[in-house]
Structure 1
């Protein structure tokens, strides 16, 4: 009798525990200054529609972008929007400091790159502490490092070692603030074979940081058949090289240095939003302003 009662209690506690292994259906939000024109009422409507679409997580790509949102007024505005998202029922994966010059700075020499990555870590530590204090640790479901790991720069063994050291440092210092998953994204452009790219992702995930792979559909650097080779290589369920897929729900219309894009047509967007990552991975969609529901609310 005691055994059966204990079993019932154990099962109940298990069911009440957060499902840490459950996959998320997430939408990325890339804060822009122009979003300040969106009223709180419009935000509430949009967030309710996002929840109705089946999204359970909002990934705030960054909380500081260069100088943007680092001032008291900008920080307060973004903090309020994140609080509204959480109040709507969305989990929050919180991005940290984003350097607009990252892709240029990553090309630095070995010594300069090391100094640069250490500076990024110090800045992220400051930002993470501030947001943990202001938003509350319990409101943070995960951390996001707003840099993108490409398949060209990190082919170099010495640079790869520096990247791994940096990610390990980030994981440890964020873990001290709040023990939450830490995520980063990566993209491929045909600079490595699919197999070597999978090895790069393995090296990243060995640091404790989880990788979401961008599917490349919106940027269209590679054709559909080529993209499938890479996505198949990193999505083997017996040896998961990635923790999720970022599905791009836009068409890129400008060069990378001056990124511009248009949303998918409504029918295309509806089909794209049914996609799910294999192997119970996270299904992440980029980006909030390209959702059909955001039309007329957020500037694109």
Structure 2
């Protein structure tokens, strides 16, 4: 049965794409990373920059983080220095919606933060002390409470599109019931916190597969997680740029994931990675347009909206010749496929639940 999936995928792909061959929709959104060394006037978030990305199809920008690093490392400098406010103002001027990310902590994947601390069925014993993971996530939650309090006023901004929980969930660290129970408790608390600030506003989180979990199990994992936590939408990173999945593996993962989430009433957006191996002085650089078109065609089968990672860094005409080449290809795609792009964007605007 598993061997029939590629054939089934090709049939679905032929039915899903527009009549014009090779014409999937361009990404309807893009991630954006801001760093502390990008000082005023925050040139990467000007209205002119957002207009360039909007011309490539992006109707929504996901600010990947509003705080970066371990909890307590810095006091929300991107907020205090005016970067988040500037991004929202630029979004309002450009007619682009802005989804605000919470803290991104690279320490999430620290092995010390993934010990068990719970019995195999996911229940804490009365005498068991908190595990490293429970202690870490409790610290994260306290930090998120302070961060959301600082971000709360922005939820009333005209350009505000929703929230993004910046914890990227992989398929290797959360396989046991114990870890899943701890993770679900933490994410449910964060979702409750965000709902208390802006009731009814869409909440998203992202995840990626390394091929560790089988496709059906991975789809069930996310259906259960979103249902248990009250999070609305999954941003599924296709993993092609990062090397987590091969192009031939995506057809096995995308259809069951899309079907499972849709049946459970949750939203899905496919994150198309626009980067690949870089030159001598960079870890990653802009991908070849031909490869990105393959990724977009694969994502089109789900009929879910696509979000790029990321136009500002890998497909902006002002970011060098390779980025300009990819930007030109996406601009042509946007011009040639406006109807499908509009339809997918309308799907993105719908709440996940």
TM-score by length of 2: 0.68
Q: CA deviation at 1:96?
A: 0.7
1:76-126 residue CA offsets vs partner (Å, 9 max, x unmatched): 234323321232111111001121211115424432211221221221222
Paired positions, count: 271
Q: Which moved more, 1:50-59 or 1:219-228?
A: 219-228
Higher relative contact order (CA 8 A, sep 6+): 2
Change (3 A) 1:246 1:212: same
In the alignment, what sits opposite 1:245?
270
Cα distance in 1, alignment partners of residues 45 and 218 from structure 2: 41
Q: What is residue 190 of structure 1 aligned with on the other side?
A: 211
Long gaps (5+) in structure 2: 1-26, 118-130, 324-353
Q: 1:151 to 1:294 in 2, by over 3 A?
A: farther
Q: CA RMSD in A?
A: 3.1
Match of 1:215 among 226, 238, 246: 238
- 2:97 aligned with 1:91: yes
Looking at structure 2, the residues matched to 276 and 246 of structure 1 have their Cα atoms a distance apart, in angstroms, of: 9
User: Corresponding residue for 2:63?
Assistant: 60
**1:155 and 2:175 are equivalent in the alignment:** yes
Higher mean alpha-carbon deviation, 284-293 vs 144-153, is at: 284-293
Partner of 1:87, secondary structure, is helix
- Give the 4+ runs in structure 1 shifted more than 6 A: none
What's the TM-score, normalizing by structure 1?
A: 0.79
Q: Which whole-Å CA distance do the structure 2 matches of 1:86 and 1:57 have between them?
A: 11
- Provide the secondary structure at the position in 1 that maps to 2:212: coil
Partner secondary structure for residue 225 of structure 1: coil
Residue aligning to 2:16 = none
Query: 2-side partners of 1:128 and 1:191: how far apart?
Result: 33
CA distance in 2: counterparts of 1:76 and 1:29, whole angstroms: 16
State how far apart, in whole Å, the 1-side matches of 2:164 and 2:82 are. Answer: 20
After TM superposition, the structure 1 stretch with the greater mean CA deviation from structure 2, 112-121 or 71-80, is 71-80
CA distance in 2, matches of 1:125, 1:246: 27
Q: Distance in 2 between matches of 1:166 and 1:73?
A: 24
Question: Which region of structure 1 is more displaced relative to structure 2, 124-133 or 100-109?
Answer: 100-109
Contact 1:164 1:203 in 2 (8 A): no
Pick aligned residue for 2:254 from 231, 250, 253: 231
Q: Distance in 1 between matches of 2:178 and 2:63?
A: 31
